[in-house]
Amino acid sequence: MKKVLSIVPWAQVFPPMNGGMLRVAHLLDQLAKHTELTIITHQGSESFSQAIELFPALQSATLISTSGQEELKDLFSFLPKPYQSAFRYRYWKRTFKGPAEGNYLLFYRPLLALLKSKPFDFVILEDISILSLASLIRRIQPKAKIIYDAHNVNTRLAKIALQKGEMGIKDFNRTKVAESELNRQVDAVLTCSELDLEQFRTMNKGFLEGAVVPNGVGIGTDKKWDRLVETTQPDHFLFCGSLNYFPNQEGLYWFCKEVFPLILKEKPTAKLMVVGVGDPGEALASLLKHPSIQFYGRVDKVGPYYQKAAMAIIPLLSGSGTRLKLLEAMGQGVAVVSTAIGAEGIDYTDGADILIANEADRFAQAVVKLLDEPVLASTISHKAFEFVKSRYDWDLIGEKLDAYLDGLDRHSPVLN
């Protein structure tokens, strides 16, 4: 059985509270089903163990947590705290370049001990912030295949942040260089969409192996569409997504300011439900106080809100990857109105399993149309459910990922 190490640099993976956490949670679940999995993360073992109830396969995985490490006593310990980290990082990393990376410092000791004690066939890095660990892995286990799981093309997001003054040029260049030199650090990249994979290959001048491992939904073969559709509020529709993620903030702000007033002119009883963890920011928070908007914030389960909704909206104007919120809505059995960017990476059919609209007036018209025509909404939601069940169920994705890992040495074709 393949031996896989997954490195997750987050203090919380379970319970998953955003799209990135959901992707990692399901990928870990699938890897646990198909491989001998070891996970090293910042989350404590006690809270991480809660995942087993939802993902029983993880019971077979080995978990190593960086939390609770004993304070290190070494030749740098006599220095002031800030200098300890700076000198320790450069000594461990064997470089004088760049700032000391917190994740590298936290992972170094437990990862070094693990790599020296157990051989791995594959090491999966779950965030751009830990690409620097590749050199350590190469040094200790040169035969292990290093794979970077790219949730987004971060250079695209960084460019937007730079234009808005939310990121400095140094941080932007650091992100761009990291993604443009992936072929020097990793053996392969996993992306959420074909578009993302092509962008990474272009940035790396074609010298980058990779596979599309899309986001998915946990539907299962036993679930039927007619069991899921229980709309209790025919004039309600739902936005569900992390409000800490800039594209979600931007898209929801656009919808509330430009689109929703047009809908209310046609449907005064319409209600927008907003579910999402995080601070929406002052401007968006002000719009969410509208009497026809119900802002729930963080919730334990999203299912009951989908059951209330006549449809879901994905009004994104930027971002990359595939949209977990879109697949989630389709898997919950509701119709979806989305921008083209909001549905990017999904092989949809506009007018059949989704309605696509990019301008404010057209988006409003599409929402009103589905509110006025529940039979059409039902038809679209049914086709969407069957579509994601046949293409984006996590068990299907897990089988394809396992096959890709088996053939990585033979330069397997892109996962589809």
Check residues 202 and 93 and name the one with the higher pLDDT: 202
> What is the distance between the alpha carbons of residues 14 and 35, in angstroms, rounded to a whole number?
20
Range with the poorest average pLDDT among 132-141, 215-224, 352-361, 367-376: 215-224
Instruction: Calculate mean pLDDT across residues 214-220.
Output: 80
The residue type found at 150 is A
- pLDDT-derived band of residue 91, with 50, 70 and 90 as boundaries? confident
* pLDDT beyond 80 at 83: no
* pLDDT beyond 50 at 219: yes
Give me the pLDDT at residue 319, please: 72
Each residue of 199-209: pLDDT tens digit? 999 999 999 99
* pLDDT beyond 50 at 218: yes
Calculate the average pLDDT of the chain.
88
pTM for the model stands at 0.81
Check residues 189 and 172 and name the one with the higher pLDDT: 189
* pLDDT beyond 70 at 416: no
* pLDDT beyond 80 at 386: yes
> What is the distance between the alpha carbons of residues 371 and 376, in angstroms, rounded to a whole number?
9
Q: What pairing do the DSSP bridges indicate for beta strands 271-275 and 236-240?
A: parallel
- pLDDT-derived band of residue 369, with 50, 70 and 90 as boundaries? very high
- pLDDT-derived band of residue 7, with 50, 70 and 90 as boundaries? very high
**CA nearest neighbour of 188 among 175, 178, 201:** 201
Give me the pLDDT at residue 365, please: 97
Placement of tokens 């089988």 in the chain: 399
CA angle 175, 177, 179 (to 5 degrees): 70
Instruction: Calculate mean pLDDT across residues 195-217.
Output: 92
> What is the distance between the alpha carbons of residues 87 and 172, in angstroms, rounded to a whole number?
25
Check residues 53 and 124 and name the one with the higher pLDDT: 124
Complete domains list, the chain, with CATH: 3-216+394-410 (3.40.50.2000), 225-391 (3.40.50.2000)
**Cβ atoms 187, 408 nearer than 8 A:** yes
Each residue of 54-78: pLDDT tens digit? 899 999 999 999 987 877 777 777 7
> What is the distance between the alpha carbons of residues 101 and 129, in angstroms, rounded to a whole number?
8
Please give the C-alpha separations between residue 332 and each of 121, 123, 218, 310, 329, in angstroms, as whole numbers: 37, 33, 10, 11, 5
Give me the pLDDT at residue 273, please: 96
Placement of tokens 């751009």 in the chain: 128
Give me the pLDDT at residue 308, please: 87
> What is the distance between the alpha carbons of residues 410 and 9, in angstroms, rounded to a whole number?
30
* pLDDT beyond 50 at 226: yes
Phi, psi of 125 (to 5 degrees): -100, 125
**Cβ atoms 192, 212 nearer than 8 A:** yes
* pLDDT beyond 50 at 406: yes
> Hey, how many other C-beta atoms are within 10 angstroms of the C-beta on 26?
21
* pLDDT beyond 70 at 84: yes
The residue type found at 305 is Y
**CA nearest neighbour of 253 among 235, 274, 268:** 274
Range with the poorest average pLDDT among 3-7, 48-52, 179-183, 250-254: 48-52
Give me the pLDDT at residue 322, please: 58
**CA nearest neighbour of 8 among 25, 33, 31:** 25
Give me the pLDDT at residue 222, please: 52
| Strand order, beta sheet including 36-41 | 62-65, 36-41, 3-8, 122-125, 145-150, 188-191, 210-212
**CA nearest neighbour of 153 among 189, 188, 185, 200:** 200
- pLDDT-derived band of residue 229, with 50, 70 and 90 as boundaries? very low
- pLDDT-derived band of residue 415, with 50, 70 and 90 as boundaries? very low
